[in-house]
Amino acid sequence: MRRHQAQGPESYRESRGSHEKSALRPRTVVTGLGVVSALGVGVRQFWEAARAGRSGVSKLSAFESMPMEAFRSQVAGQVHDFSVGHYIDGPLAERVDRFAQFAMVATKEAVADSGLQLDREDPRRVGVMMGAGMGGMLIAEQEYHRVYENLKPNRVVPNFIPQVTLNSASGALAIMCGAKGPNVTISTACSSSAHAIGLAREAIRAGRADVVIASGADASIVPLTFAGFCSLRALSTTFNDSPARASRPFSRTRDGFVMGEGAGTLILESLDHARKRDAYIYAEVAGYAATNEAHHMVVPREDGLEIAHTMSMALRNARVRPAQVDYINAHATSTPIGDVVEIKAIRHVFRRRATQVAINATKSLLGHTLGAAGALAGIVCALTIDAGLIHPTLNYDDPDPDCALPGISARAQERPVGVALLNAFGFGSNNATVVFKRYLT
């Protein structure tokens, strides 16, 4: 990874549209990254595997006593052999659900990577924006069992509610980091942590924080949730015997997404704050848009116009023209409808540029990590800008003519990336786009 130091003046004058006055607003930069993924714990392991195009998807092994043949889908992007005590000492990490443990481990790495000495920061100027789609599903299943099967409601563990709540992770991050600033958990299913990045930037731009920990996590590969996605006919079922081939965005033979789990954390900081401490800057978070299609709880609008609108809004917010975009980290879950709609939207926004922009699908490597997906995609955007390398889209060996674009490749692409777009869409008709830029003074 290349690393360069922040230099130059802090602020720039920004016109925010005819209805708003020009204002000096802090720019937001990414100064630290942390990953817990099916491709490894740690950014280095993750990125090396991603560059090499390795799959993190394997035969499902998480359900110890369940007859796996009863599940239509039998593959998942699991984080194997994870023990939080290996990474974090102390009782707090042991007393939270697996998804929050993932968030804590990713955040510990990201803080260390940023070089921040959090004990020297004003704690009220350090915030947390956390995306989580499902929350503490592991503890939820365990305790449902006690109540409904064992009929022992008085034997539900006392620490159940503090673990199952969606904001348990953002609370644990605040306690771990001593972060007393704005602390919000965003739950918009699969787009949750893309919003976490966008809202972290907005907190910094609004002057409410100097540093915001933007994180996303989910660990819901548990029988009930998995069965629920199976029942929804959302998961891949035809590659149960060849797991690494199951997540195949944009491929003609894609047949649903692969469930994943993990966490990603980005340290976002005002440029001024990063410069003062001479921090390394991966990229700038330059724009963000959040919309809702108001259309359907699960299925996107087939014409892709609302997704196109979301991307256009984010580009305007970043003051970037479509022709300046070099790379799109697509939502691309490998579902038959979703991938086509996203490409339709990309064609609509980018016109001729759609044939030149590089596009990849991180879910081809990890499966769909739900609430972590946006943060992990944001990390990929930062690393892609930093390294000038676009990781392969796995299994793009039989392109669907309705999705095919020249910028999608089963091989790694080396090219400089000045502007990157992150797309993330969630159940409930929810859309998010985040724009990253190479940091230039």
Partner 1 sequence: MATDIDLALRVRSALAEYLKRDVTTIKPADALRNDLGLDSLTTIELLYRIEAEFNVEVPDADLPGLVTVADVTAYLQRRVTQA
How many residues contact partner 1, by CB under 8 A? Answer: 6
Please tell me the distance from the alpha carbon of residue 217 to that of residue 196, in angstroms, as a whole number: 11
- 190 as an active site residue: the answer is yes
Binding mask 160-179 for partner 1 (x = CB under 8 A): --x-----------------
- The dihedrals phi and psi of 413, each to the nearest 5 degrees, come to -120, 125
Contact 300, 426 (CB under 8 A): no
Please tell me the distance from the alpha carbon of residue 150 to that of residue 79, in angstroms, as a whole number: 29
Does the protein bind partner 1 through residue 154 (CB under 8 A)?
A: yes
Which residue out of 273, 309, 368, 391 is catalytically annotated? 368
* Number of residues written out for the chain: 441
- The dihedrals phi and psi of 72, each to the nearest 5 degrees, come to -65, -45
Contact 22, 14 (CB under 8 A): yes
Contact 219, 102 (CB under 8 A): yes
Beta carbon of residue 294, minimum distance to partner 1 (angstroms, whole number): 41
Tell me which stretch binds partner 1 (CB under 8 A): 103-111, 120-128, 156-164, 271-279: 156-164
- 368 as an active site residue: the answer is yes
Which is nearer to partner 1, 159 or 238 (by Cβ)?
159
- 296 as an active site residue: the answer is no
Q: Where are the beta strands (DSSP E) in 261-374?
A: 262-270, 283-292, 327-329, 358-360
Beta carbon of residue 109, minimum distance to partner 1 (angstroms, whole number): 26
Measured at the alpha carbon of residue 241, what is the angle toward residues 236 and 246, in degrees to the nearest 5? 35
Pick left, alpha or beta for residue 119 (phi over 0 → left; psi -120 to 50 → alpha; otherwise beta): alpha
Does the protein bind partner 1 through residue 83 (CB under 8 A)?
A: no
Which is nearer to partner 1, 156 or 387 (by Cβ)?
156
Does the protein bind partner 1 through residue 158 (CB under 8 A)?
A: yes
Does the protein bind partner 1 through residue 150 (CB under 8 A)?
A: no
Does the protein bind partner 1 through residue 112 (CB under 8 A)?
A: no
Does the protein bind partner 1 through residue 155 (CB under 8 A)?
A: yes
Does the protein bind partner 1 through residue 1 (CB under 8 A)?
A: no
Tell me which stretch binds partner 1 (CB under 8 A): 127-135, 151-159, 361-369, 426-434: 151-159
Does the protein bind partner 1 through residue 157 (CB under 8 A)?
A: yes
Measured at the alpha carbon of residue 199, what is the angle toward residues 34 and 159, in degrees to the nearest 5? 65
Which residue out of 331, 381, 391, 403 is catalytically annotated? 331
Active-site positions read: 190, 331, 368
Contacts with partner 1 by CB under 8 A lie at: 154-155, 157-159, 162
